[in-house]
Structure formats: C-alpha cells, structure tokens
Amino acid sequence: MLHPDGTCQWLDQATDPPLGTRPQQVPRPQASLPYDHGDTLVLYTDGLIERRDEDIDTSLTRLADALSKDTRLSPERLADALLTRLGVTGGAGDDIALVTVRL
C-alpha cells in the first residue's frame, strides 16, 4: 500500500505457498490493512522485484524507494514509472504482473 506521503505498508501477514501447490480443502490465509482516500494498492508478482543474486529485503527496499518517488502519478502512469525504475521495461527473467489501484 502506497500512501500519498510516499510511505509504504506491506500486506505480508498472510503469506502462503504459490497457487496450486497446497491441498484444495485448506483455506488460504487472509490479511487486511486500513486505507485512506488517495492511497494506492500495488499488487505484483515476484518477477517484478526478485533478483536471483539478492536478498528479498533488498528487493522490497528497491520497490518501496521506486514507489515513493511517484506518489502523485495516476495509477497507470505509476505502473509505467515503476517498471522503468525497476529496469524491467524490456522484459525480465520471470513473468511479471502488476496492478495499481487508487483507493
């Protein structure tokens, strides 16, 4: 969650294995986070941020830094700027999905 002041909050309280890798009858964990008008929800797959040669915390810090630079952009332009700042406009070694929603 990207806030207008450039701070980010992670919705990481409900981590789970990838889709299709667990028994169907086991419910998936859920998490919630309060939001305010103007916050932006950023959903993405691991291909956007993960790099084989670095720690995940480094990847998350890079994401937060990239997001904090463009808080006033529309969701569409924010997504484009994020792809550019993270260096994946020409493709990446993993699939990438990115959704940005202004709340």
Task: Find the helix packing angle between 75-85 and 56-68, rounded to 10°.
Answer: 130
CA distance 66 to 42: 12
Q: Domain count of the chain? A: 1
* Per-residue confidence (pLDDT) for residue 98, from 0 to 100: 93
How many residues in total does the chain contain?
103
pLDDT in tens, 7-66: 999 988 777 777 677 777 777 788 889 999 999 999 998 888 888 888 989 999 999 999
Domain limits for position 86: 1-103
| Cβ-contact 5, 67 below 8 angstroms | no
pLDDT digits (tens, 9 = 90+) for 80-102: 999 999 888 776 667 788 999 99
Reduced to 3 states (helix: H, G, I; strand: E, B; else coil), residue 61 is helix
Residue 79 pLDDT more than 90?
yes
pLDDT, residue 40, reads 96
Side chain identity, residue 25:
Q
Q: How far is CA 3 from CA 9, 38, 96, in A?
A: 8, 7, 23
* Closest of 74, 82, 60 to residue 102, by C-alpha: 74
Q: Is pTM, for the whole model, over 0.85?
A: no
Partnered with residue 36 across adjacent β-strands are none
